[in-house]
Amino acid sequence: MSNSLVVRDEYGRVLPLIRKIGSGGQAEVWASEGRIAVKRMHSHTPRTARRLRSRIDVVRRLDLDGVPVARPMDLLASPDTGYTMELLEEMVAIQRLAAPPSGADVLGWYAETGGLRRRLRLLARAADALASLHAKGVVYADPSPANIMVSASARHEEVRLVDVDLLHTESAPLEIGGTPGYAAPELRAERSGVTCSSDAYAFAVITFEVLSLLHPFLGEQVEDGEPEMLQLAYDAKLPWIDHTTDRSNRTPYGMPRTAVLAPDLITLARRTFQDTVNSPRSRPAVAEWRTALHAAADMTLTCVACPQAYHVRRDECPWCGTPAPDPLIAVVHFVLPGQDEPVSAREVLAVSPADELPIMPRTAYTDAAEYDPVPAAWVCWEEGRLLTVRAGRLPLWLTPDRDPANAVVVEASDQLTVPADGAAPGWTLHFGPPGEPRRLLRFFRVRREGR
Amino acid sequence: METPANSPVARPVVAAPRPLPVIVLADVSGSMTQHRKLETLNESIETMIRAFAAEDTARGEIQVAVVAFGGDRAVLHQPLVPATQLTWTDLEAGGRTPLGAALDLLTDLLEDEQTIPKRAFMPTLILVSDGKPNDSWEGSLDRLLASKRGKRAIRLAVGVGVDMEEEDFHVLECFIANPAIKPTPVDKVHRLSRYFSWVTLSVTQQARSGQQTSAEIGFDQLDEFLG
């Protein structure tokens, strides 16, 4: 191993290694100059170099436009083996959200790191990224909580996949082993190489961990047992912790699943870890997780009394017990000109009082880029008083429900506050000019039953 | 589900990370003071502990203990504590090489379930020596290798300095008791710190992955580290 703190890329450019930002079994990652990161493999044998070069050549030919991955740029020159990539500043691995620091107050830490809603949104975006790779026929190969990077600040929600030197179309058994705990049972049993289904298994484990702070197979008997039990758990040779009939691997640890997993997510977890655990072809795809995660994020409300968030369907906050107010629901419709009554609801969002709700481009526009991280609009509703709408990169239109012909424009990057003195705001938000085909948002107050 | 849909949650807790013990058996006989051997060992152990402490992983909590053997006895120089809570005190040298006493102390430590609970990962044991033992160590080694944890621990050994003889390496081989793993000769003392860099990587890999297979232990990378 060379100790010099400088490497060269294949074009002879000198790259100082300024700060080590990570190290793993195969490689170290350093920050260099000019927003460049250097991934340097531990092994510099000709064989390693040859294999890496052919892998990177394949990855560079893949069409990754619009997919949020840290793309490999240039190979390192001999005697080093590795490559350069974009330096992800202000980002950390999603594993930071899956386990509290030792001794921390778990609930307080969960809220400080963005709570349930931010976790759902970050996971939804990671699912967007993986699902779009899969749509291009590309397997990510080793999804783990260490290679999904997310914004370090709880106020931001950027996502990037790293370690893309493993991107594959499909692999032979054993070629890529995956990360213990995330590798699908068929990879561990060497029955199969990596596939979109093995990616989906790993992503399901990551999702379950980030939301519930629990590995789906590490029940109490595993946690308290000898380390050999971990192998059984990772091989999925034990029932999962929330198995519907076999309760032998249950656990008292972690977040209660009914509080952090929307019904659709509970179903996907059960299908992945119970019904299809050994039948990868029937396993739910990442695209299914993505839909359920976006929907769950949209249906999450902030508690009026504590910093936590929960699913709009619950009658009270699962964390402090405060009764949930009658929720305000925003329904997304698509309308054609001359068609006053929108026909079908496309998507439903829950609006928390006095909390700014970002509306993402994929919700607002039919032609939005999948990963556009800049919201199309922010909506803030002060119950019985005001509705504030802030526009993203494009203008918005507001129409009073009593007088729909009388539209007001909110210019791009501008904001507008209108009176909203009823139980619901009484305004409709349009993502295109009235008179053109467009999506719009209508607000409804839902009365909870039994009050 | 554990919690009925409408009952407020008390206080969720997570399982404590599983301990991953790393135990160094350090030869502190008089000869270790020559050629900066002991000084380098102290620096290497301290650097390793700092790297362990900086490692934030939920899967394993790396804990470190150091058994020092010199003079006519072995002492638990550093009791087993999490690396994050450890303040390192340098080893001091003097006297002979009572390896047998060190192995006895080690076996007692490994067998003590108060110190190492059964859920702990297999310990990594690193024997560092610069010469031959001068007590009767064979019986003590048999006892270690017959003990449940001692038998299954990851046992590594490193021979420091140019004065190491074939017979001395034989002792290290007996400690490892695995024909697939050889004692590592460290003739130049700066390579001792590289050896410990490799141990650091190996242990952090085990802690991160939560498993202890040959891939995680990474013997194939040792030569790269020694350069």
Q: How confident is the model at residue B194 (pLDDT cuts 50, 70, 90)?
A: confident
- 3-class secondary-structure state, position B12: coil
Q: Which two tokens stand for residue A52?
A: 């890496």
> How close is the nearest chain A Cα to the Cα of B186, in Å?
16
Mean of the per-residue pLDDT values for chain A? 90
Contacts of A316 in chain B (CB under 8 A): 6, 8
Chain-chain contact of B9 with A318 (C-beta, under 8 angstroms): yes
Q: How confident is the model at residue A390 (pLDDT cuts 50, 70, 90)?
A: very high
Report whether pLDDT(B119) > 90.
Answer: yes
Which residues, listed in sequence order, are joined to residue A91 by a DSSP beta bridge?
A151
> How close is the nearest chain B Cα to the Cα of A330, in Å?
25
Q: Is residue A88 a contact partner of residue A160, using CB atoms and an 8 Å limit?
A: yes
Report whether pLDDT(A2) > 50.
Answer: no
User: What distance in Å separates the CA atoms of residue B222 and residue B204, rounded to the nearest whole number?
Assistant: 15
pLDDT at B206: 83
Percent of chain A with pLDDT over 90: 61
Strands B124-129 and B154-160: parallel
**Lowest-pLDDT choice from A386-390, B8-12, B151-155:** B8-12
Q: Is residue A301 a contact partner of residue A350, using CB atoms and an 8 Å limit?
A: yes
- 3-class secondary-structure state, position A417: strand
Strands A328-335 and A438-445: antiparallel
Q: What is the mean pLDDT of residues A270-288?
A: 96
Block residue for tokens 């060190």 = B102
Q: Is residue A216 a contact partner of residue A269, using CB atoms and an 8 Å limit?
A: yes
Dihedral (CA of A254, A256, A260, A265) sign = positive
CA distances from A215 to A117, A124, A263, A288, A359 (A): 20, 19, 19, 20, 31
Which residues, listed in sequence order, are joined to residue B19 by a DSSP beta bridge?
B61
pLDDT at A217: 98
Report whether pLDDT(B5) > 80.
Answer: no
| Helix (H) / strand (E) containing B79 | strand B73-82
pLDDT at B65: 97
Q: pTM of the predicted model, to two decimals?
A: 0.88
> Which of B192, B200, B85, B124 minimizes the C-alpha distance to A227?
B124
Nearest to B8 among A98, A224, A320 (CB): A320
Report whether pLDDT(A278) > 50.
Answer: yes
> How close is the nearest chain B Cα to the Cα of A439, in Å?
35
- 3-class secondary-structure state, position A156: coil
Chain-chain contact of A25 with B215 (C-beta, under 8 angstroms): yes
Q: Give the tens place of pLDDT for each residue, A111-165.
A: 999 999 999 999 999 999 999 999 888 899 999 998 999 999 998 899 999 988 8
Q: Which two tokens stand for residue A406?
A: 């009388």
**Within 10 A of B178 (CB to CB), how many other CB atoms are there?**
11
Report whether pLDDT(B116) > 90.
Answer: yes
Name B185's Cβ contacts closer than 8 Å, sequence gap at least 6.
B158, B159, B164, B169
Nearest to A23 among B15, B201, B210 (CB): B201
Q: Give the tens place of pLDDT for each residue, B42-64.
A: 999 999 999 898 886 667 899 99
Helix and strand totals (H; E) in chain A: 11, 22
pLDDT at B94: 80
Chain-chain contact of A318 with B8 (C-beta, under 8 angstroms): yes
Name B10's Cβ contacts closer than 8 Å, sequence gap at least 6.
none
Q: Give the tens place of pLDDT for each residue, B133-192.
A: 888 899 999 999 999 999 989 999 999 988 888 888 999 999 999 888 889 988 888 888
| Helix (H) / strand (E) containing B27 | strand B18-27
Q: Give the tens place of pLDDT for each residue, A151-197.
A: 999 988 999 999 888 787 766 666 667 888 999 999 999 998 999 99
Chain-chain contact of B5 with A225 (C-beta, under 8 angstroms): no
CB neighbour class for A2 (10 Å; exposed up to 12, middle 13-18, buried from 19): exposed
Q: Give the tens place of pLDDT for each residue, B15-26.
A: 888 999 999 999
Q: What is the mean pLDDT of residues A421-445?
A: 91
Q: Phi, psi (5° rounding) for residue A159?
A: -135, 140
- 3-class secondary-structure state, position B197: helix
User: What distance in Å separates the CA atoms of residue A61 and residue B10, rounded to the nearest whole number?
Assistant: 52
Report whether pLDDT(B1) > 50.
Answer: no
Q: Which two tokens stand for residue A313?
A: 């369907």
Q: Which of A208-212, B146-150, B213-217 has the highest mean pLDDT?
A: A208-212
User: What distance in Å separates the CA atoms of residue A433 and residue A414, rounded to the nearest whole number?
Assistant: 16
pLDDT at B4: 45
Residue type, A263: P
Q: Is residue A205 a contact partner of residue A213, using CB atoms and an 8 Å limit?
A: no
Residue that wins the pLDDT comparison between A104 and A395: A395
